[in-house]
Amino acid sequence: MTAATPHRTASSPSRVTDRPGDTSPFALGLLLRRAHWRAASVMEEALRPLGIELRHFAVLIVLADRGPTVQRDLVAATGSDKAGIMRVVDDLERKGLAVRKSVPGDRRVRAVEITPQGVELSDAAHVAAEPLAERLVAGLGAGEAAQLADLLTRFTHPSDAHPSDGQA
C-alpha cells in the first residue's frame, strides 16, 4: 500500500469517487451536481447569443411567471443571495429587460417587473434552447426524457402531490 492508497477493510465506509457506481452517501448529490453542470452549459450556449446568462434568465422566468416581484422573493425563487440578485437586476435594467418599481404602501421596497423587451428575449431564449435541449437528452431512450423530468420534478418538489402516486 502506498500513502496515496489507504488500506481498506470490509468494514471501512465507502469512499466518494464521483464515478458511475459510487455507493457513497454523497453519490446522488454528486450525480445531480454533474447533471446540473451539463444542463447549465447547454442552456448557457443557447443564451450566449442573446447577451444574457443563466442567472439573468432565471430571474426573467420568475418575473414572467409571477409578475412584479420584490427582490427578497427573487432571492428565494432563484436560490441566489441578496447581493447576487441586486447585480442581476442591475444587469437586466441596464439591458432594458426589467425595471424596478415602488411598492405601494412601502417606499423602501422595490418590485422588479419584466419589460416587453424582457418578454421578447425570454421567448427568443426558449426558441434558441429547443434544439440544444433535444441534444441534451439525445442519449436517452424512448420515454426516458419524460421519465427523467418526472423524477426530477418529484425530487425537487417533494411536498407536491403527484397524480400517479395515489395521493389526492
The residue whose grid cell reads 447585480 is 87
Confidence grade of residue 55 (pLDDT, cut at 50, 70, 90): very high
User: What is the pLDDT, as a whole number, of residue 133?
Assistant: 86
Confidence grade of residue 24 (pLDDT, cut at 50, 70, 90): confident
Half-sphere exposure of 67 (CA within 13 A, CB side): 1
Domain membership flag for residue 83: yes
Domain membership flag for residue 128: yes
Residue type, 127: V
The answer to whether the beta carbons of residues 167 and 88 sit under 8 Å apart is no
Lowest-confidence pick of 67-71, 79-83, 134-138: 134-138
3-state SS of the chain is CCCCCCCCCCCCCCCCCCCCCCCCCCHHHHHHHHHHHHHHHHHHHHHHHHCCCHHHHHHHHHHHHHCCEEHHHHHHHHCCCHHHHHHHHHHHHHCCCEEEEEECCEEEEEEEEECHHHHHHHHHHHHHHHHHHHHHCCCCCCCHHHHHHHHHHHHHCCCCCCHHHCCC
Domain membership flag for residue 164: no
The model's pTM: 0.77
Domain membership flag for residue 43: yes
Confidence grade of residue 166 (pLDDT, cut at 50, 70, 90): very low
Domain membership flag for residue 16: no
In terms of residue numbers, what domain contains 82? 30-137
Residue 137 confidence (pLDDT) above 50: yes
Residue 6 confidence (pLDDT) above 80: no
User: Grid coordinates standing for 58?
Assistant: 432565471
Half-sphere exposure of 93 (CA within 13 A, CB side): 12
Domain membership flag for residue 39: yes
Domain membership flag for residue 165: no
Task: Domain count for the chain, please give it.
Answer: 1
CATH for 117: 1.10.10.10
Domain membership flag for residue 113: yes
